[in-house]
């Protein structure tokens, strides 16, 4: 995996390349980010660059023997530790084939994607003491081909207290051994591990970057819809791609008509719309609700120009009118109604019932501050 395959993150790439060229490569680094920032593939690209035998100015060559093996995540000096399930005789190596396949197919892979890939629902993953002991064995061996042995520990927050066993090894590793910890929840990592690493904070993508990614990769061709998704994704590129997969057309017209029906108490329109939404299915309805939260949030912030910078012209106009009916006095209950509906959709999936209940709640909640106001 080359740096050029990692979307954006130019500043971080530059720091990693400069450190490598200068020979100042820390033996233990912590890549910290939120989900969807491509931190894991970035760590892999960095490891490939370190091991490349024909480094280019800003990337690994991609063609040397080392790079070819890294492209398959099968280099003998590249090791992975990650959460998995099983007894105390199970290690990451028992799942390495699935791990390679999943990350190569989806470099944006999240923890939930990984869980789904290996077990579906119902099992708890962790990094057990047997895996920690296996790390000692793997890293005690000499490097086979490269200058560096690299261990990438993905989601070290799953180490728990057993991770203290690693402290001496992380502090004084064998020669030319690099630890790359990749976390999406730094606050859950053992402080004793954090104190032994050099921290590299990887930012989430901004709205423009996500919108551009969706359009340039032909994931979404409508720029207005791409903009909506970028806002809803909240910096998470993985979430943006998933949302895009469930959206075939902009949500605004559908959402506006529904909200007008709720405000007017038009039960005939609400029931007719129920049938239409139920035909679209559970995933569409969930995206519809997430879009609704986006509009509600924009409505509350409508007095601040920066908050509405990512709305289309039609959305912006509607939000301005809607602010008369969604305000500080009822915002909490409306937010709760949407979030409860998302939760219920994920757990139970009765779209018709959830939709009607939400419609009735909004009908009762959307009381104007000025009784003469009209949408």
Residue for token pair 């708890």:
124
128, 62 Cβ separation under 8 angstroms: no
Tens place of pLDDT per residue across the chain (375 aa): 999 999 999 999 999 999 999 888 899 999 999 999 999 999 999 999 999 999 999 999 999 999 999 999 999 999 999 999 888 888 899 999 999 999 999 999 988 889 888 875 557 788 999 999 999 988 888 878 888 899 999 999 998 888 888 888 888 888 889 999 999 999 888 898 899 999 999 999 998 899 899 988 888 766 777 777 787 788 899 988 888 876 655 678 888 888 898 888 888 888 888 887 777 777 778 778 878 887 888 887 765 554 455 677 788 888 888 888 888 888 888 888 988 888 888 776 688 888 889 999 998 888 876 554 444
Say which DSSP state 204 is in.
P
Q: How far apart are CA 213 and CA 207, in angstroms?
A: 10
Which residues 6+ apart lie within 8 Å of 170 measured at CB? 28, 179, 193, 196, 197
Which domains are present in the chain?
3-204 (3.40.50.300), 251-365 (1.20.272)
Which residues 6+ apart lie within 8 Å of 10 measured at CB? none
Residue for token pair 């064998």:
174
Give pairs for 353-361: CB < 8 Å, separation 24+: 354/285, 355/273, 355/274, 355/277, 355/278, 355/285, 356/270, 356/271, 356/274, 358/289, 359/258, 359/261, 359/262, 359/270, 361/333, 361/334, 361/337
The model's pTM:
0.74
Tokens in use for 27? 């033996």
């Amino acid at each position: 995996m080359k740096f050029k395959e990692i979307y954006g993150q130019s500043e971080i790439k530059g720091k990693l390349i400069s450190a490598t060229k200068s020979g100042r490569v820390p033996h233990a680094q912590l890549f910290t980010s939120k989900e969807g920032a491509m931190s894991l593939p970035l760590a892999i690209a960095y490891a490939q660059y370190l091991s490349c035998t024909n480094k280019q100015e800003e990337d690994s060559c991609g063609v040397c023997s080392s790079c070819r093996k890294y492209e398959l995540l099968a280099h003998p000096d590249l090791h992975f530790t990650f959460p998995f399930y099983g007894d105390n005789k199970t290690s990451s190596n028992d799942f390495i084939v699935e791990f390679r396949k999943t990350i190569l197919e989806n470099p944006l892979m999240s923890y939930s994607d990984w869980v789904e890939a290996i077990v579906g629902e119902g099992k708890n993953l962790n990094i057990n003491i047997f895996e920690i002991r296996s790390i000692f064995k793997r890293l005690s061996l000499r490097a086979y081909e490269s200058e560096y042995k690299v261990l990438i520990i993905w989601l070290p927050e799953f180490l728990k207290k057993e991770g203290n066993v690693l402290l001496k090894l992380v502090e004084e590793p064998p020669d030319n051994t690099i630890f790359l910890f990749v976390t999406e929840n730094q606050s859950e990592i053992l402080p004793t591990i954090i104190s032994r690493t050099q921290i590299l904070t990887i930012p989430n993508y901004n709205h423009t970057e996500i919108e551009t990614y969706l359009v340039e990769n032909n994931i979404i061709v409508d720029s207005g819809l791409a903009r909506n998704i970028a806002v809803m994704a909240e910096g998470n590129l993985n979430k943006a791609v998933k949302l895009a997969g469930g959206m075939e057309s902009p949500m605004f017209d559908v959402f506006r008509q529904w909200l007008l029906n709720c405000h007017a108490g038009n039960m005939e329109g609400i029931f007719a719309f129920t049938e239409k939404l139920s035909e679209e299915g559970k995933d569409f309805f969930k995206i519809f609700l997430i879009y609704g939260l986006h509009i509600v949030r924009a409505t509350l912030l409508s007095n601040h120009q920066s908050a509405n910078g990512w709305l289309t012209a039609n959305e912006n106009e509607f939000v301005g009118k809607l602010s008369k009916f969604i305000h500080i006095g009822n915002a909490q209950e409306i937010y709760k109604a949407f979030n409860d509906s998302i939760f219920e959709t994920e757990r139970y999936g009765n779209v018709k019932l959830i939709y009607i209940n939400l419609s009735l709640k909004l009908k009762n909640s959307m009381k104007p501050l000025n009784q003469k106001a009209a949408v």
